[in-house]
Amino acid sequence: MAHASEGRGQEFRLPDLGEGLTEAEIVRWLVEVGDVVAVDQPVVEVETAKAMVEVPCPYGGVVTARFGEEGTELPVGAPLVTVAVGTGEDGAAPAAGTQAAASAAGESRVAESTGAASTGGESRIAEPVAARAEAAGSGNVLVGYGTSEAPARRRRVRPGPRAGTGAVARTNGRVRVAGPADGPADGSADGPVESSVDGPVPVISPLVRRLARQNDLDLRELTGSGPDGLILRADVEYALRASAAQGGRAADHAARTGRAPVTAPTAPASATTPGAPRSGTVRTPLKGVRGAVADKLSRSRREIPDATCWVDADATGLMRARTAMNASGGPKISLVALLARICTAALARFPELNATVDTEAREIVRLDDVHLGFAAQTDRGLVVPVVRDAHARDAEGLAAEFARLTEAAHEGRLTPGELTGGTFTLNNYGVFGVDGSTPIINHPEAAMLGVGRIVAKPWVHEGELAVRQVVQLSLTFDHRVCDGGTAGGFLRYVADCVEQPAVLLRTL
């Protein structure tokens, strides 16, 4: 990768986004090679398992290189862009040489550092792009995370050429190792060789390893398209598609000629090729938000011995109280805000449910502050924004925060910090028109309150049959943190507050 002659080349790497995130997918580039960027200007929009984030660059200057196309997954610490910065104290790019830098960057391409053969049979190894700059950045890469040095990644050693192995054929950046009996692709007797058996496999993401393992794909037969030959999810999916297409071509040839395709005795039929699409099926990768939700819910089911109790409650009194609040003027109070206020009052009486379990220490950790999560369905999937310090907010404050977080969720603007750290979750699945549910606890929390739809039903009120607004409440709890008596007491208190909101006056 060539850099501009003027100024220093600063390599900006994908920062640690925090909250256990190890990779991100490039959604949209906000700059082109040759563009002049200012300090803290966003250069790329990435999607993590928790949110979409615009990543600002801490350097100002001319963009001389971009690493990765849109849709590519990059691990934390991988290069994002290279910026040619000026030598002045302000760190700005020099006025002269801007076009030269853009031209040099546009005409240069970096050779792959995997030692794989090129078309002409010559092996090239790229030189390191640039040394890591010592100059400090702006300190504002992501709000709340800073520009501290990204954790060093271990350099993976690629096996060197050895005699006795098959020739290497390259197709679209992938490497296939032919068997010893096969000759080189061009028919010559000599050519570069590469071992596909020895040495570590350049894979960081456990999701990539699992995808390959589930489809019986040998990662040693691939050459990654990521930095330093890193194998990405896209490389594995490409190999699976190529395998399926090869099987389809063999079947089509057999149909035209009437001859069965010639295969090795141990090779499976194309209809059972791992990863091959079957007729009438659609495969959707578990990635992004959907993948994060799947992992968390699966872990919850594995680790938490949950139990559920439920009760019907007459919500007529709560609905009338809300109507009276909103009729008095001021900001409108939402129903979920009133339910959240009831939850915080109930957790004050039954703090055992505002807890988590430390499995390694075999301890129950009771938490003082209530950070209340609430389930929100968006176009990107289910997310659980968190209202910080919900126990310290009144109904009006809770309503405002719920409105803000809900709007951010639908617009995809939630930050990782707004999606993590919850201690208890409120799940209002009544908006989907259902009465009840047995929700899965949001790991590592200990409980979740579910609220069904509020619907008119016949109800015995003050000794007479009447039509009342009835709701079903359910509590799913971790049986390790408490017994049924505590869970039942919590749910009964919530139901009492729903039926008679004046009960809350005792704790206000």
Share of the chain above pLDDT 90, in %: 38
pLDDT digits (tens, 9 = 90+) for 38-77: 988 999 988 876 677 788 888 889 999 999 888 888 888 8
Ranges 103-112, 137-146, 297-306, most confident: 297-306
Q: At residue 362, does pLDDT exceed 90?
A: yes
DSSP state of 252: H
- Over residues 72-92, the mean pLDDT reads 74
Q: At residue 198, does pLDDT exceed 60?
A: no
Of residues 258 and 221, more confidently modeled: 221
Distance of CA 157 to the CA centre of its chain: 29
DSSP state of 14: P
Take residue 187 and report the two structure tokens written for it.
Answer: 């028919």
- 3 a catalytic residue: no
Task: For residue 367, name the pLDDT band (cuts at 50, 70, 90).
Answer: very high
DSSP state of 117: B
Task: For residue 346, name the pLDDT band (cuts at 50, 70, 90).
Answer: very high
- Over residues 464-477, the mean pLDDT reads 96
Q: Would you tell me how many other CB atoms lie within 10 Å of the CB of residue 275? A: 20
- How far apart (Å, rounded) are the C-alpha atoms in residues 262 and 7? 60
Q: What is the pLDDT of residue 308?
A: 95
| 3-state SS assignment for residue 34 | coil
Q: Is the omega angle on the peptide bond into residue 159 within 30 degrees of 0, that is, cis?
A: no
Q: At residue 418, does pLDDT exceed 70?
A: yes
Of residues 132 and 271, more confidently modeled: 271
Q: What is the pLDDT of residue 29?
A: 92
- Over residues 346-371, the mean pLDDT reads 96
Contact 37, 102 (CB under 8 A): no
Q: At residue 396, does pLDDT exceed 80?
A: yes
- How far apart (Å, rounded) are the C-alpha atoms in residues 477 and 438? 10
- Over residues 477-501, the mean pLDDT reads 96
Which of 260, 156, 247 has its CA nearest to residue 202? 156
Q: What is the mean pLDDT of the chain?
A: 75
Of residues 133 and 316, more confidently modeled: 316
Q: At residue 398, does pLDDT exceed 80?
A: yes
Q: What is the pLDDT of residue 255?
A: 57
Q: At residue 166, does pLDDT exceed 50?
A: no
Q: What is the pLDDT of residue 249?
A: 58
Q: What is the pLDDT of residue 274?
A: 53
Q: What is the pLDDT of residue 48?
A: 76
- Per-residue burial over 24-41, b if 16 or more Cβ lie within 10 Å, else e, is bbbbebebebbbbbebbb
Q: What is the pLDDT of residue 500?
A: 94
Of residues 341 and 250, more confidently modeled: 341
Task: For residue 411, name the pLDDT band (cuts at 50, 70, 90).
Answer: confident
Of residues 450 and 284, more confidently modeled: 450
Distances (CA, A) of 273 to 246, 264, 352: 10, 14, 51
- 461 a catalytic residue: no
Per the document, the length of the chain is 508
Cα pseudo-dihedral 414, 417, 420, 421, rounded to 10: -140
Q: What is the pLDDT of residue 179?
A: 43
Catalytic residue among 435, 478, 483, 496: 483
Contact 2, 107 (CB under 8 A): yes
HEC string for 159-203: CCCCCCCCEEEEECCEEEECCCCCCCCCCCCCCCECCCCCCCCCC
Q: What is the pLDDT of residue 137?
A: 47
Q: At residue 474, does pLDDT exceed 80?
A: yes
Task: For residue 200, name the pLDDT band (cuts at 50, 70, 90).
Answer: low
Q: What is the pLDDT of residue 188?
A: 42
pLDDT digits (tens, 9 = 90+) for 224-278: 887 777 788 888 888 888 877 776 555 655 555 555 554 444 444 444 455 555 6
Share of the chain above pLDDT 70, in %: 66
Task: For residue 507, name the pLDDT band (cuts at 50, 70, 90).
Answer: low
Of residues 366 and 139, more confidently modeled: 366
Among the ranges given (52-66, 143-157, 370-384, 431-445), the one the predictor scored with the smallest mean pLDDT:
143-157
Q: What is the pLDDT of residue 194?
A: 43
Catalytic residue among 198, 253, 369, 479: 479
